[in-house]
Amino acid sequence: MSGINQYDGTAVTQLSLFYDETFLWHYSAPSYREEIRSQIQSGHRVRFLSRFLLSQTEIEVEFNEIRLQTNFNDDFQFVYTDSNTYQYKFTNLRWQPIRTILSFPLINPPTFSLPITVPNALRRETEYQAHLAQVQNLPNNIHIQDHYWDSVDSTPANTLGPTHVNTPSTGSDTDYWTPTNFQFASPTPESGFTNSARPCACGTDICYCDT
């Protein structure tokens, strides 16, 4: 950000970048529809970077997660849930989760947001197609391996009745927990930590062991 000024001539103190909804939901995600569906049904989380913030003191990254919502034709549509936010302070040189969504089912989550239905390409169709071709040429793009972050049990689709309605996420603070909620306990074999001398505090996406 060195040497970058705002419109009024004052120095820029922070920069925020957001994902392009049209490109994600109308170009990228449809081209990987079956891969994303297969990964989610196998119990793997599919995240996308929704916000990147850079300031003089920290970096923040925010991730949303794609979910599957079944409909009355036994088909599915992509929806997404609220974000996990991670912060990197230049003073302590470590990443910390500052807002983490509670675990929701990967299929038919109780709260979700719907992607945009009408694309707004702003005459960037040619640019989008070129960028999509570039993304599709990247190696191992969506073929998530077992060691990718962590996996969650795939939740079977609920039986939907005609009264089912979409309940968008409220974004309430009660939906989240922070690292202060971590509690140390002796690890169990199921947690993947078999050395009982190394107690671990585990949250949704991260574990701290010893320190």
Q: Report the sign of the C-alpha dihedral through residues 186, 188, 191, 192, in that order.
A: positive
Contact 191, 184 (CB under 8 A): no
Same-domain check for residues 185 and 102: no
Whether residue 16 lies inside any domain: the answer is yes
Which pLDDT belongs to residue 168? 39
101, 12: one domain: yes
Whether residue 174 is predicted with pLDDT greater than 60 in this model: the reply is: no
Q: What is the helix, strand, coil percentage profile of the chain, to 5?
A: 20, 30, 50
Tokens of 122: 């702003």
Calpha distance 17→49 (Å, rounded): 10
Whether 96 and 200 map to the same domain: the answer is no
Answer yes or no: do 144 and 186 share one domain.
Answer: no
For residues 42 and 139, membership in a common domain is answered with: yes
The predicted pLDDT at position 20 comes to: 96
Number of domains in the chain: 2
Same domain for 86 and 7: yes
Residues 59 and 142 reside in one and the same domain: yes
Check residues 20 and 42 and name the one with the higher pLDDT.
20
Q: What is the pTM of this model?
A: 0.65
- Asked if residue 12 and residue 114 are part of one domain, the reply reads yes
Is 156 part of a structural domain of the chain? no
- Whether 98 is covered by a domain: the verdict is yes
Nearest to 144 by CA among 28, 29, 47, 31: 47
Residues 114-155 pLDDT 10s: 999 999 999 999 999 999 999 888 887 677 665 555 544 434
What is the per-residue pLDDT across 39-63, written as a single tens digit (0 to 9) for each?
999 888 899 999 999 998 999 999 9
State whether 94 and 186 are in the same domain: no
Query: In the predicted model, what is the mean pLDDT of the chain?
Result: 76
> Concatenated DSSP letters for 147-176?
TSS-B-PPPPPPPP-TT----B----GGGE
Instruction: Give CA–CA dist 168/149, Å, rounded.
Output: 26
- Rg over CA atoms, the chain: 20
> Could you list the residue range(s) of the whole structural domain that residue 196 is in?
178-211
Residue 100 resides in a domain = yes
